[in-house]
Amino acid sequence: MNTVAVVAASPAVTSVMPPRRVLGAYLAEARSECLRYMRAPGFLLPILLFPGLFYLVFGVLMGKSEGADAARYLLASYSVFGVMSPGLFGFGVSLSLERDGGLLTWKRALPMPPGAYLLGKMLMAMGAAAVVVLMLLAMAMGLAHVVLAPAQVAALLATGMLGVLPFCALGMLVGTLIKGQGAPGMLQLVYLPMSFLSGLWFPLSMLPKTLQQFAPVWPSYHLDRIALVAAGIVHEPVLPHVLVLAGFAAAFFALAVRQLRRYG
């Protein structure tokens, strides 16, 4: 009787990993994801090149003619434009390709916590977002002569690193819906119009009033407002924008998890 009880209980006992091993699994997966993408020029170069080139042309050059306020405004907006990319493409495209190639199924069979895979990709996106914001800050302060207080630098960096998470959730949702070969094109159709309609490339006042009214439906608009507050361009409460972004992230993540559970 006791022997039977011990044998029946053994799978449950052996399936429990010590906290140190659980933490080690999370850290190992996060390190693997970060190294994999940071060593991939096809991923890292575009997310640095596009916001850097746009800011060099519009922020630095326009800043010389329009003044430091223009360069500061575009620093905030192009930081948001830049951090959207690792969330959407680093999460969405890779997830879609790994689902098609069977890598996600293989990872599920590994003896590691199920959340380690997602956490690794989130930390990768946050690290890439930090690199983008730091690059733009260096260009703004070194080339456009934008003056920022240390608190503003820290606020912009935190905005970028945390603001990438709703776009990770959106990229994850797209990655669960679209096959691997179609994910990059679909994400471009999301990324570029969202950036344009949110006023990231130029102020919303330059858009038709009809389009201005729909700007708050995009998560990038709310992240841009937070970035503008962090840079000292506008002064308004950021909590409503934070709550909207948290709602977007929760909704996208819940839909993506449901899709993964249904179809893998």
For position 148, what pLDDT does the model report?
A: 92
How far, CA to CA in Å, does 109 sit from each of 10, 101, 113, 119, 260?
20, 15, 10, 17, 15
User: Which range among 12-16, 177-181, 196-200 has the greatest average pLDDT?
Assistant: 196-200
In contact, 176 and 99? CB cutoff 8 Å? yes
Go through 143-162 and write b for each residue having 16 or more CB atoms within 10 A of its CB, e for each that does not: bbebebeeebbebbbebbbb
For position 58, what pLDDT does the model report?
A: 85
pTM of the model: 0.84
Band (pLDDT 50/70/90 cuts) for residue 45 is confident
3-state secondary structure (DSSP) of residue 190? helix
In contact, 46 and 128? CB cutoff 8 Å? no
User: Which range among 14-23, 236-245, 252-261 has the greatest average pLDDT?
Assistant: 236-245
